[in-house]
Amino acid sequence: MKFLYIPLLILLGILWRFSTYESHLLPPLSSGFLTAEALVLDAPDRRQAEQRLRVEWEGRGLLLKIDPYLLVRVGDRVRFSGQILDIEAREGEAFSYRHYLLMLGIQNAFKVQYLEVEPMTLEELFRTDWRLFLLRILEDVRRGFEAYLKPWYVEPEWGLVSGLLLGSRAGLEPKLAAAFRDAGLMHLIAVSGYNISLVVAAAISLLGFLSFRKRLVGSACLVTLFVLLVGPSASVIRAALMGCLALFAHFTGRRSVALFSLLWGALIIGLINPYRLVYDIGFQLSFLATLSLLIFHPVLIQFAPRILPVWERWPTFLQESFLLAFAAQVFTFPITAYYFQTFSWVTIPANIAVAPFLPVAMALSGASILFPPISLLNIGVLKIIETVALVSAALPFASFQFPLTLFEFWLFYLGLAFALFLFYKPTLVRAFRL
- Pairing mode, strands 60-66 and 45-46: unpaired
Q: What angle do CA 193, 196, 200 make, to 5 degrees?
A: 135
Q: Which residues of the chain have pLDDT under 50?
A: 255
How far apart CA 53 and CA 41 sit, in angstroms, is 8
Q: State residue 109's pLDDT score.
A: 92
pLDDT of residue 273: 87
Q: Where are the beta strands (DSSP E) in 278-398?
A: 342-344
Q: What pLDDT score does 397 carry?
A: 81
Omega prior to 372 cis, within 30 of 0? no
**In sequence order, what DSSP letters do the residues of 258-307 get, joined into one string?**
HHHHHHHHHHHHHHH-THHHHH-HHHHHHHHHHHHHHHTHHHHHHHHHHH
Nearest to 261 by CA among 269, 13, 164, 1: 269
Per-domain residue ranges for the chain?
25-128, 148-429
Distance between CA atoms of residues 268 and 312, nearest Å: 42
- What CA–CA distance (Å, rounded) separates 434 from 425? 9
- What is the chain's mean pLDDT, rounded? 81
Give, in order, the Cα–Cα distances in Å from 248 to each of 36, 120, 242. Answer: 47, 39, 10
DSSP letters of 294-308?
A: HHTHHHHHHHHHHH-
What is the structure's pLDDT at 205?
65
What distance in Å separates the CA atoms of residue 287 and residue 293, rounded to the nearest whole number? 10
> What residues does 40 pair with on adjacent strands?
55
Q: Please tell me the number of Cα atoms within 13 Å of 283 on its side-chain side.
A: 25
pLDDT of amino acid 38? 93
Q: What integer pLDDT is reported at residue 64 of this predicted model?
A: 94
Quick check: helix, strand or coil at residue 20?
helix
The whole-angstrom separation of Cα 116 and Cα 80 is: 6
Residues 6+ apart with CB under 8 A from 102: 21, 22, 25, 275, 279
- The fold of the 25-128 domain, in CATH, is OB fold (Dihydrolipoamide Acetyltransferase, E2P) (2.40.50)
